Amino acid sequence: MKEQFYQYICTLQDEITQKLETLEPTVRFREDLWERPEGGGGRTRVIEQGKVFEKGGVNISAVHGELPESMQAYFGVKDAQFYACGLSLVLHPKNPMAPTVHANWRYFELYDSTGQIADQWFGGGLDLTPYYLFEEDAKHFHQVCKETCDRHDPHFYSQYKKRCDEYFWNSHRNEARGLGGLFFDYLKKGEKTMDQWYSFVTDVGSNFLNAYFPILNKRKDLPYTDAQREWQEIRRGRYVEFNLVHDKGTLFGLKTNGRIESILMSLPPQVQWVYDHTPAQGSEEEKLIQVLQHPKDWMAAVE
Amino acid sequence: MKEQFYQYICTLQDEITQKLETLEPTVRFREDLWERPEGGGGRTRVIEQGKVFEKGGVNISAVHGELPESMQAYFGVKDAQFYACGLSLVLHPKNPMAPTVHANWRYFELYDSTGQIADQWFGGGLDLTPYYLFEEDAKHFHQVCKETCDRHDPHFYSQYKKRCDEYFWNSHRNEARGLGGLFFDYLKKGEKTMDQWYSFVTDVGSNFLNAYFPILNKRKDLPYTDAQREWQEIRRGRYVEFNLVHDKGTLFGLKTNGRIESILMSLPPQVQWVYDHTPAQGSEEEKLIQVLQHPKDWMAAVE
């Protein structure tokens, strides 16, 4: 399973970066190969200062060895060997009308003292963070999420949509980071077989471009004002706050000696913090905040 | 003691904001009074988009009531009443040659079930975060810290300088947030009386302007390039990382329903994250990094 999934994310990284580059006239992804001293490594691909992509990363990694101490308590095991691989991506378009997107698909194995697999699971998801609300974009994104889920189980979409809204909650701001999508973790043998989970997780991965690409393509060249750009930078501040204060993956990486630059490539390129910024009543900016404070069921939403 | 210290920080807030405004030709501090639903409140003073101060806050607060649950575990007590007051300030000058500064002085009381003081202590400090290294500034800042400490105890400076270097350590970057200063906490009756601690902490507070004002005054109008400004914004990213990932005060505030805008006024106004940014060998930028990675004893330093 681990070879199979690792091959899958390698191919998916190629597919995603190649497709994204078709939208970008001025720059290309640069690649950094890195090794983890304790075992394994990764292939980080970053794009910066493009016409479409102000900053983005599409990274894969596969690491293994002794389970770090900080993870032992987290998983409730001691002195175990582990293997983990995954693809993580974050794209920050330059145009404030185009949403930021994040996605991640990962696989984890824990071994017993004889080297046999003691536990294994998949996790991941994808979520959309716009600066201006286009309801049709939200619906399209969730529609792709739902169709993908429905091919595997009729309960998945509502279940993983809800977990996404719960996970990406900026509790100190009392608002969601974005419009959600899917979030799942600890997909283990039981309800489904590992092969069925593999099929589900890779289906979600392979539909990422279907979910995001058309939205980006539609919004990347829309006109915008300096004030709209400023709003985007202020909202990006909330993105930073979520990632550094609440996101388990980021904190985990920072506290377990992960590759800092690959972890923090998720942070937006230009960000502002303005004291007590409040959008005008009835403005487009306020409409976004309303939806973030009250996450919607985009598949049931009636205009 | 609590009335006395609260009066002190009220007066100090006036003194500091008035003095800082003498350097600022274009804008003034604006004041927000706020109340804490569970008891107490604060007076936040923020300055933004000035010629000298790109963003800054000089805030006081005095809060009381039931000790929040999250603090109970932290202090190892249950269902206690508490009182806490303090002054917190962060100043982000616009000019990259002028350093950011942070300072805080606070007083805490815990009560037993009969309403008697069960425990009481002072905490605080001040520290300097430059974007370009002027050794004379570092020495001046530490000199004022040392002279103030020495008036109270010959061991204080080395002790609290060391704690400052330890506390403001951005462990995931393996570098200090800045050039340090003083950091102290849990100054309780024992080694000194509470009156002696009061005298020490207020002496540090009253010497803040002596430590910082001359530096700001000297650097605020120096010429700088776009590249130097960009470096400042990138370094501000490290400041954000420290405050959101490591700073106990910030995290504590965010997780105990503090006044978010007063807590996060510490975040810089304009910030950049650039993937894998590394200053050129031998550059001024690299010189700063060297000092941040290897905190110096500024009082012993020989050029």
pLDDT at position B7, please?
Answer: 98
Q: How many domains does chain B have?
A: 1
Query: pLDDT tens digits for B130-150?
Result: 999 999 999 999 999 999 999
Whether B244 is in a domain gets the answer: yes
Question: Among residues B92, B102, B140, B142, which one is catalytic?
Answer: B102
Considering the domain boundaries, does residue B188 fall inside one?
A: yes
Task: Please report whether residue B300 resides in a domain.
Answer: no
Closest CB from B172, B251, B268 relative to A260: B172
Residue B262 placed within a domain: yes
Tokens of A127: 């979520």
List of E strands, chain A:
30-35, 40-48, 53-66, 81-93, 100-111, 117-129, 169-170, 175-176, 180-187, 270-272
Output the six-digit token pair for B205: 């507070």
DSSP state of A301: -
Q: How confident is the model at residue B268 (pLDDT cuts 50, 70, 90)?
A: very high
Q: For residue B79, tell me if it sits in a domain.
A: yes
- Touching check for A299 and chain B: CB below 8 Å? no
Q: How confident is the model over A83-131, as pLDDT tens digits?
A: 999 999 999 999 999 999 999 999 999 998 898 999 999 999 999 999 9
Contact (Cβ atoms closer than 8 angstroms) between residue A262 and residue A285: no
- Residues 32-61 in B contacting A (C-alpha not used; CB under 8 Å): 32, 46, 48, 55, 57
A299 in a structural domain:
no
Q: Is A186 on the interface with B (CB under 8 A)?
A: no
Tell me the ipTM for this assembly: 0.92
Evaluate whether residue A265 is within a structural domain: yes
What does the alpha-carbon distance between residue B277 and residue A207 come to, in Å, rounded to a whole number? 33
CB distance B294 to B287 below 8 Å: no
Q: Which of A117, A104, A95, A99 is nearest to A51 (CA)?
A: A95
pLDDT at position B301 is 56
Residue A221 sits at φ, ψ, to 5 deg, of: -115, 10
Residue A194 has pLDDT above 80, yes or no: yes
> How does residue A301 score in pLDDT terms, banded at 50, 70 and 90?
low
Q: Any chain B CB within 8 A of the CB of A274?
A: yes
Nearest residue on chain B to A261, alpha-carbon basis: B276
Rounded distance between C-alpha atoms, residue B199 and residue B163, angstroms: 20
Q: What is the pLDDT of residue A144?
A: 98
Task: Indicate the average pLDDT of chain A.
Answer: 94
pLDDT, tens digit, 9 for 90 and up, residues A59-73: 999 999 988 887 787
Q: Do A245 and B254 touch (CB under 8 A)?
A: yes
What's the confidence (pLDDT) of residue A68?
Answer: 81
pLDDT band at B247 (very low <50, low <70, confident <90, very high): very high
Instruction: Compute the average pLDDT of residues B60-89.
Output: 87
- Report the pLDDT value the prediction gives residue B68, as an integer from 0 to 100: 81
Distance CA A126, CA A89 (A): 9
Q: Is B102 annotated in the active site?
A: yes
Q: Are residues B248 and A249 in contact, defined by beta-carbon separation less than 8 angstroms?
A: no
Quick check: is B302 in a domain? no
Joined together, the tokens standing for residue B41 give: 């409140």
A130-169: buried (b, 16+ CB within 10 Å) or exposed (e) per residue?
A: bbbbbeebbbbbbbbbbebbeebeeebbeebbebbbebbb
A303 pLDDT above the threshold of 50: no
CA atoms within 13 A on the CB side of B131: 28
Q: What CATH number has the domain bearing residue A86?
A: 3.40.1500.10
Q: Is B64 left (phi over 0), alpha (psi -120 to 50) or beta?
A: beta
Instruction: Pick B60 or A72 by higher pLDDT.
Output: B60
Write out pLDDT tens, residues B94-110.
999 999 999 999 999 99
Confidence (pLDDT) at A302:
46
Q: Is B214 on the interface with A (CB under 8 A)?
A: no
Cβ pair A100, A178 in contact under 8 A: yes
pLDDT for B162 equals: 97
Residue B30: its pLDDT value, please?
A: 96
Confidence of residue A300 (pLDDT cuts 50, 70, 90): confident
CB atoms inside a 10 Å sphere around CB A9? 24
- Domain span including residue A127: 2-293
Q: Distance from CA of residue A232 to its chain's centroid?
A: 19
